[in-house]
Structure 1
Amino acid sequence: MESKTGTTRRDLLRAAGLGLTFPLLSACGGLAGGGNSSKNQAKSALKIGFVSPRTGAAAGFGEPDAYVLDLAKKSLTSLTVNGTEYAVQILDRDSQSNPQRSAQVANDLINSDQVDLMLTTSTPETVNPVSDACEAAGVPCVSTVVPWEAWYFGRGAKPDQKDAYKFTYHFCFGVDQFHNMYTHEWPQVPTNKKVGVMWPNDSDGNAIRAALGPLLKQSGYTIVDPGAYTDGTNDFSAQIAKFKAEDCQIFNAFPIPPDFATFWRQAAQQGYVPKIAQIAKTGLFPSQVEALGDIGIGIAGGAYWTPTFPYKSSLTGVDSKALGDGYQATGKQWNQQLGPSLALFDVAAAVLKAAGNPKDKLGVANAMKTLSVDTPIGKLEWGKGPNANVVATPILGGQWIKSTDPKYKVDFVLVENSSDPNVPVAAKLQEYKP
């Protein structure tokens, strides 16, 4: 006879003579005590997956990951829910900024590591495939740093659907927050209100084209759109010529970082100098701006977190200023990704507790529907957003300037706060003059 584990009757008899009967029977499930003990140990552990772009085109978003993960792991070694203590393991993976790789590591975390909860951040190329994998597998997932329309509709939801997803939830700014930011920021510099746009043929670009474009037109701006371009384009001469011919004094783009660097250098060479250069999805972090040299100074961008946000992490107790200072103590300049990445772990701890049974995946997903939690980017409250799956968070306007601190080359100052007046404004937008 051979058991399902491959253990034969002869093995058991031989083991009896060696005093090994108990471990073999336990492996076969032959002793009730051994089987239950193994199951109880499995139940006492929680696994949280974390997927972000550490390398590849969007690697700037992953710069502070190691620091945030260290904070989270120190504060989340265990979690007590309804009197039961669970050991917590955080498994982080690099998406390499690639959709196929994102789906692969998500499925590995789901099927091989059997995570109880997934966290993911930064651009649709990473977040959307991970969210889709979790939705298909019935694993609760919380994501951020993708404009919520690009996440919600980019994954197939219809405009009339208010609860399109059962297991996947999201917090991030959206088109309304961009519109508020731009229409409060751009009037600070006199222009002809003609906006040359570089909106790519991807989830971000398509969502922005469909929703932001009409809103800006309603606010009196003329949109000059040369059409959706393919990510990875290396010659933007035709677009630059059109912007010059139309005298587009405002420039707006939602490109992947390498594409903007290519475009902006070509624009400088070909003499296109707008009065306002408003960039999203790139130009978010000091390293990206420094890489442009002098033509990076004066670029306007958005901020979904800065050290001046008056909020703190409910998991770690660290406020925004301490979060920025702590990161800079490692020798690197503060990075706005610190805020939402730590917020993911605030949400994780809160929802696993709120579920009552953190091993019940459907229960955890259902607990997200009414979750309220304090984070470095502010209080997140599901059930009050544009739909059941989303919390719309602030994005504020700012500008890159030369740093007055000799340790750094550039600094980012806030110039408008229409999405969250609790965050202080530090300067007024200045005309772009390279």
Structure 2
Amino acid sequence: MNGIFRNGKLNAASLTRRSFIASAAAGSAALALSGRTVFAQGDTLKVGFISPRTGPLGGFGETDGYVLELTRKALANGLQAGGKTWKVEILDQDTQSDPSRAGQLAKDLINNEAIDLMLAVSTPETINPVADACEAAGIPCLSTVMPWEAWYFGRGAKPGAPSPFKWTYHFGFGVEEFHKAYVSQWNLIETNKKVGVMYPNDADGNAIRTHLAPALARAGFTIVDPGAYETGTTDFSAQIALFRQEGVEIFNSFPIPPDFAAFWRQAAQQGLTQQIKICQVAKTGLFPSDIEALGDLGLNIGSAAYWHKAFPYKSTLTGVSGTELADGYETASGKQWTQQLGASLALLDAGFDALKASTDVKSKEAVAKALATLKTTTIAGKVDFTSGPVANVSPGPIIGTQWVKAPEGSKFALDYVVTENATDPNVPVGAKLTAYNG
């Protein structure tokens, strides 16, 4: 079928703009001729998928359309579960980066669409209101891409107490993974170990301040914290002055893109960037568009990847490798690959693996139990809910990375390189960390 499938697996690299349309038409005709699966009434699984596709957090959802296209093609002939074949409908929704809208969308999918499973991806502003709606309604929900502490404790769980959650599950990085990655990364360059931190007054920032900053201090770094700032702040002069006065050589933040852009431009104007040797930015430093928007100020910014095309795993749902996923997206969209590709596909991998493992996909209790006991390896690595730090959580890697100038002849301005792999040694290190101001 025009190379869309290779050896029975979906070939993401062949999905160009033109072949998106052509293959869909050819696929429909071929399936009609070959006897496409006919589903009986009631043999439909409905899966909700909620992410921020537009708004300030839109970078997280930019690639979701492509990932959902791959998924729908892989499920065109249904899902084998419980001894029968189920038609699958994925109902995807855009939060527009609004937490209130995220909760409303979740309730609509639960009450009006009668979904069997909810998938939510990217940031507390998306995931927490969706998870809360599912917990209240008794709908199994799986999520990824936010620190698990912000998901678990940020929704009311108490340290040392039993989990209050029966229906909601989350996998991916936590503070311990950030701690390991940052210590590994920051020891690659000689500094005075003074770290200026800017953690916002939100679920991410508060979890990181409470759990990560003390761990970094115990590892020998001096934390200079001017206090929580409010999202949307436009004047960072006070923070910059403190960082200059204290002589910080490492900077770390978990901001949304507009906030970091405002801060970093002011930091350059007021002389702070000249003393910074490592600029390690989470949340904003994830995607090429956010870094490109900074111009030359974006070069050599350190980041961290919850997925990279160098990850040596394959999608259980589509069969594509990391390189195939990234190359396929670039061919289809004309845009540079982002780490969200693998993260969103990993969520779909894990969600459908849980459905396949469930004793009854139409039983909410059975699906929740399948999530609680899920052990699989997605395109982003291992997911294991049987051995997490707390119930309902499966931790995952975060890998040290850096944005550098792309090699001569590249289609894109930036290259995204792996600089350390403390939380998953299976991921190959591809480059040496370069000082921001070397």
Indicate whether the TM-score tops 0.5. yes
SS of the aligned residue for 1:188 comes to: coil
State the distance in 1 between where 2:131 and 2:42 align: 25
Give per-residue Cα distances to partners, 1:140-178, cap 9 Å, x unaligned: 000000110011111111011343310000111010111
Give 1:231-310 correspondences, 5 Å limit: 231-273=231-273, 274-310=276-312
Identity %: 59
Distance 1:347 1:107 in 2: 22
Quote how far apart the aligned CAs of 1:257 are. Answer: 1.2
- The answer to whether the Cα contact below 8 Å between 2:67 and 2:344 also exists between their aligned partners in 1 is yes
Indicate conservation of the 8 Å contact 1:253/1:280, yes or no.
yes
Cα displacement string for residues 23-51 of structure 1 (whole angstroms, at most 9, x for unaligned residues): xxxxxxxxxxxxxxxxx955311100000
Contact 2:148–2:393 (8 Å) recurs in 1: yes
Aligned equivalents of 1:282, 1:428: Cα separation in 2? 22
Paired residue type of 1:120: A
Match of 1:74 in 2: 73
Secondary structure of 2:187's match?
A: helix
Question: Normalization by structure 2: what TM-score?
Answer: 0.88
1:3 aligned residue: none
Cross-structure match for 1:53:
52
Aligned to 1:166: 166
Pairing 1:115–2:115 present: yes
Larger Rg: 1
Matched, 1:366 2:365: no
| Alignment deviations for residues 218-240 of structure 1 (CA, whole Å, 9 cap, x no partner) | 01111100000111111101000
Range moving further from structure 2, 341-350 or 158-167: 158-167
Q: Please give the alpha-carbon distance, in whole angstroms, between the structure 2 residues aligned to 1:417 and 1:162.
A: 32
What's the counterpart of residue 10 of structure 1?
none
Q: Does residue 224 in structure 1 map to residue 224 in structure 2?
A: yes
Map of 2:414 onto structure 1:
410
Note if contact 1:181-1:397 (Cα within 8 Å) is conserved in structure 2: yes
Query: How far 1:187 moved relative to its partner?
Result: 1.3
* Residue pair 1:43, 1:359 contacting (<8 A) in 2 also: no
Equivalent residue in structure 2 for 1:313, among 294, 298, 315? 315
Q: Which amino acid counterpart does residue 365 of structure 2 have in structure 1?
A: L
> How far apart are residue 82 of structure 1 and its match?
2.6
SS at match of 1:176: helix
| Shift, 1:81, TM fit | 2.0
1:324-372 per-residue CA deviation (whole Å, 9 max, x = no partner) reads: 1111112111110011100111112111121121110111001111111
Superposed CA RMSD = 1.2
Paired letter, 2:437: K
CA distance in 1, matches of 2:394, 2:75: 24
Post-superposition Cα deviations, 1:393-432, rounded to whole Å, max 9, x if no partner, equal: 0001011001114310001111100000011001111110
Alpha-carbon offset, residue 84 of structure 1:
2.1
CA contact (8 A) 2:82 2:358 kept: no
1:64 match: 63
Deviation, structure 1 residue 244: 0.4
CA–CA separation in structure 2 for the residues paired with 1:420 and 1:51: 28
1:346 is aligned to 2:349: yes
Q: 2:200·2:231 contact (CA, 8 Å) conserved in 1? A: yes
Amino acid at match of 1:386: P
2:421 maps to a residue whose letter is N
1:54-203 equivalences in 2 (<5 Å): 54-77=53-76, 78-203=78-203
Q: Distance in 2 between matches of 1:130 and 1:44?
A: 26
Cα distance in 1, alignment partners of residues 377 and 179 from structure 2: 25
| 8 Å CA contact retained: 1:351, 1:367 | yes
Displacement of 1:321 in angstroms is: 1.3
Gaps of 5+ in 2: 1-38
Could you say which residue in structure 1 is the equivalent of 2:330? Answer: 328
Shift of the alpha carbon at 1:433?
2.5
TM-score, structure 1 length as denominator?
A: 0.89
Q: How many matched pairs?
A: 395
1:164–1:389 CA contact under 8 A, matched in 2: no
| Partner in structure 1 of residue 386 of structure 2 | 383
Q: Name which structure has the greater RCO, CA cutoff 8 Å, separation 6+.
A: 2
2:356 is the counterpart of 1:357 = no
Q: Deviations over 1:250-302 (max 9, x none)?
A: 00001111110110111111110211100001110111110110000010000
1:423 correspondence with 2:427: yes
Letter in 2 for 1:414: V
User: Matched residues in 2 for 1:347 and 1:303: separation?
Assistant: 19
Query: Is the contact made by 2:375 and 2:386 (CA closer than 8 Å) also made in structure 1?
Result: no
